[in-house]
Copies of this chain bind each other. A is one copy, B any other.
Amino acid sequence: MATKETKQRGRPRSFDRETALEQAVRSFWEQGYEATSISDLTRAMGISAPSLYAAFGDKRALFDEVVAEYGRLYGGFISRAVAEEPTARRGVERALREAAAEYTAPGRPRGCLVISAALNISPASAEVAASLREMRRSNLREIASAVRADVAAGELPADTDADALADYVGAVIQGISQQARDGAERTALEAVVELAMRAWPEAAAESRSAAGARPAP
């Protein structure tokens, strides 16, 4: 699907589409959707406005591609951590630690694009905000699902409120992203993660034997 089918017919594109997209990612990541103008984008991408519109459609379509690219390159670590670790606790702890690292990684914009790019949007761009919000909700559902699986496995107390726990994790992640944007250092955010994980419920003592085995959600 992504490979060129045959030789293209007309004048070839004079810039690398992937490289330009990567610069668009950085621009939107730094300033958010509305605060990033077409002029900002053409400057960062090194192309003119008509080239941008020919290659990516309009600003909204470019942003959609940017979000997908961001997810592919930088944003998937939460889903990955929760899916790969054997317990919800370990998945969440890994996700939070990676968040502290990712959101302060040198040479990149701070924080999370999905969290911060569509804050304070004017009504005209409400759809963009709704789209990113749904992505965040999806992440929380994954976490809540992992928590429920741990409860079923006796890895967490039976009265654990999975949705509340997922909301809590989401609040901490959003807070970490925000503080990273405010200039917080990685070590400070790791200390926050350390504290945040102290709120994790303790497993009932007698049923910790089944650790590592988790039924599919």
Query: Which residues of A line the B interface, CB within 8 A?
Result: 31-35, 37, 115-122, 133, 136, 161, 163-165, 167-168, 170-176, 178-179, 181-182, 184, 188-189, 191-192, 194-199, 201
Contacts and interface: CB of A to CB of B under 8 A. Distances in A.
Contact of A120 (B37, B116, B172, B188): B116
Contact of A35 (B120, B133, B176): B120
- Give the interface centre of A33, A115, A120, A189 by most chain B CB atoms within 10 Å: A120
A175 B175 CA distance: 5
A116 B175 CA distance: 12
A133 B172 CA distance: 18
Interface of A is mostly: helix
A181 B31 CA distance: 19
A164 B191 contact: yes
Given A120-B35, A120-B117, A168 B182 contact: no
A122 B165 contact: no
Given A119-B119, A120-B34, A120-B119, A167 B184 contact: yes
19 contacts: A32-B120, A35-B121, A119-B119, A119-B120, A163-B188, A164-B188, A164-B194, A164-B195, A167-B188, A167-B189, A167-B192, A168-B192, A168-B196, A171-B171, A171-B175, A174-B175, A178-B178, A197-B199, A198-B198
Contact of A165 (B161, B172, B175, B195): B195
A174 B184 contact: no
